[in-house]
Amino acid sequence: MKSTLLLLIFLVGSWTDPVAAQSSIETDPGYVSFADLNDIFGVAPKIEANIHGAILRLVAEAAELEDPELADLLRRVRGVYVRVFDLNRLNLDTVKSYKDRVSRLLVEGGWDTVIAVRKRNEDVNMYVRLVDEEIAGMVVMSINHFDDETAFLNIVGDIDPEQIGRIGRKFGASRVSDF
Amino acid sequence: MEPSWMNNHLSKRLLILLAGLMLSGCMVSREISDVRRDIEKEFPGAEFDKEFVISVGPGFFNTVGWLAERVDDYDARRIADYLNEIRRVKVGVYRTEQLPYEGDLELESLRRFNENGWELAVKVRDDDEMVWVLYREWYDEVRDMFILVLDDENLVIVRVEGYLNRLLEKIVEDETYATRLFD
């Protein structure tokens, strides 16, 4: 009985590892949660990626054969989170006000603005957070009327802003990549 | 010297034993059928017809791996090494009979995934296809993966259990070595 109980505790403890891995990334200074997006927008994203921990290493390993440079980039980051929504299914005002609110919160939280572009068909903001003069995370938010898409991307870890496109493309946020 | 009928008899027994060992892990997977039923229950109106469901277990991988290890061929030994990292593969292919649900199918919110530590890695909703990749980690390694692909024609459910990080590392290592060798 005692050994069964111990085995159960061991198994439960082991399977809760993902939760532990996730909560550790959530306390990372470079992490920004887009978890409430589905509720705010009222629809599910057309692309959702939550890549961290062992699955990130798996993706990096898989990238090694086709694109070793991308694999190296992925090994340096701790998490990649992507949400891409179809603009046609959304209320544009809701999207804009969400983007503005997150931008304000990021700046208040010590994030630096790298890009803030507002054009007729494109609206893009990029932020980085520096910790001890190193990049701890990056956020890109874009509203694109060419593709009728709005994308939210958060990369946790040390990433050169010029390389963001390679990671964005890998996870389906191709428009974000152009910046 | 033993009569030839005895040799034949022995070989037959050996073959049966071998087939038994190999097929010991091959069976229909109840879990895959349950996932399909869960989807139909969660999304009323959705209906799928079974084309085939198969589960290949450790018995198969161990036996094939053991045999491949003994073959005097480099590639066969490589495959044996990869098979050592796979525990179980379950595949279900269903024909989509009805898919009236127009909204957002959130398979990741199914209780079986929600309550058992599965994490959603990727979800893609294309115009005519939806893909979900869910996984579970154990000791910092992806040990379990569910891939679901749904379109107007089929529902495909795949579950792979094993040491998937290690498996990929081995494949990449071998491929990189081979590439360097022939460059």
- ∠ Cα A133 A83 A106 (to 5°): 35
Q: Which residue of B has its CA nearest to A44?
A: B104
Q: What's the pLDDT at A168?
A: 74
Per-domain boundaries in chain B: 26-57+86-182
Q: For residue B103, what are the contacts with CB-CB under 8 A and spacing of at least 6?
A: none
Q: Please give the average per-residue pLDDT across A135-160, as a whole number.
A: 92
CB contact under 8 A, A58 and B140: no
Please, which residues bridge with residue B156 across strands? B93, B149
Q: What is the DSSP string of B33-91?
A: HHHHHHHHHHSTT-EEEEEEEEEE-HHHHHHHHHHHHTSS-HHHHHHHHHHTTEEEEEE
- The minimal CB distance from A15 to the residues B117, B140, B169 is found for B117
Please, which residues bridge with residue B155 across strands? B94, B150
Q: How far is A18 from chain B (nearest CA, A)?
A: 6
- Spatial distance between the Cα atoms of A114 and A125, rounded to a whole number of angstroms: 8
Q: Is the pLDDT of residue B9 over 80?
A: no
- ∠ Cα B161 B162 B167 (to 5°): 130
Q: What's the pLDDT at B39?
A: 87
What pLDDT, in 10s, does the model give residues B40-98?
Answer: 888 788 899 999 999 999 988 888 888 888 888 888 888 888 998 999 999 999 999 98
Per-domain boundaries in chain A: 30-177
Proportion of chain A above pLDDT 70, given as a percent: 83
Q: How far is A108 from chain B (nearest CA, A)?
A: 30
Proportion of chain B above pLDDT 90, given as a percent: 37
The most confident of the ranges A66-70, A149-153, B179-183 is A149-153
CB contact under 8 A, B140 and A17: yes
Nearest to A31 by CA among A85, A74, A65, A79: A79
Touching check for A172 and chain B: CB below 8 Å? yes
In angstroms, how far is CA B59 from the centroid of its own chain?
14
CB contact under 8 A, B126 and A46: yes
Residue with the bigger pLDDT between A50 and A66: it is A50
Q: What's the pLDDT at B69?
A: 86
Residue B107: pLDDT band (50, 70, 90) is confident
Q: What's the pLDDT at A14?
A: 40
Residue with the bigger pLDDT between B169 and A179: it is B169
Q: Please give the average per-residue pLDDT across B153-173, as a whole number.
A: 91
Substitution target from B172, B176, B180 for chain A, most A beta carbons within 10 A: B172
**What is the token pair recorded at A91?**
């209320």
Residue A158: pLDDT band (50, 70, 90) is confident
- The minimal CB distance from B123 to the residues A48, A53, A57 is found for A48
What CA–CA distances, in Å, run from B121 to A123, B135, B136? 27, 7, 10
Q: What's the pLDDT at A18?
A: 46
If one counts every other C-beta atom within 10 angstroms of the C-beta of residue B158, the result is 16
CB pairs < 8 Å spanning A and B: 78
- Spatial distance between the Cα atoms of A153 and B46, rounded to a whole number of angstroms: 33
Which chain A residues contact residue B119 at CB under 8 A? 18, 22, 50, 55
Q: Which residue of B has its CA nearest to A53?
A: B140
Q: Is the pLDDT of residue A9 over 50?
A: no
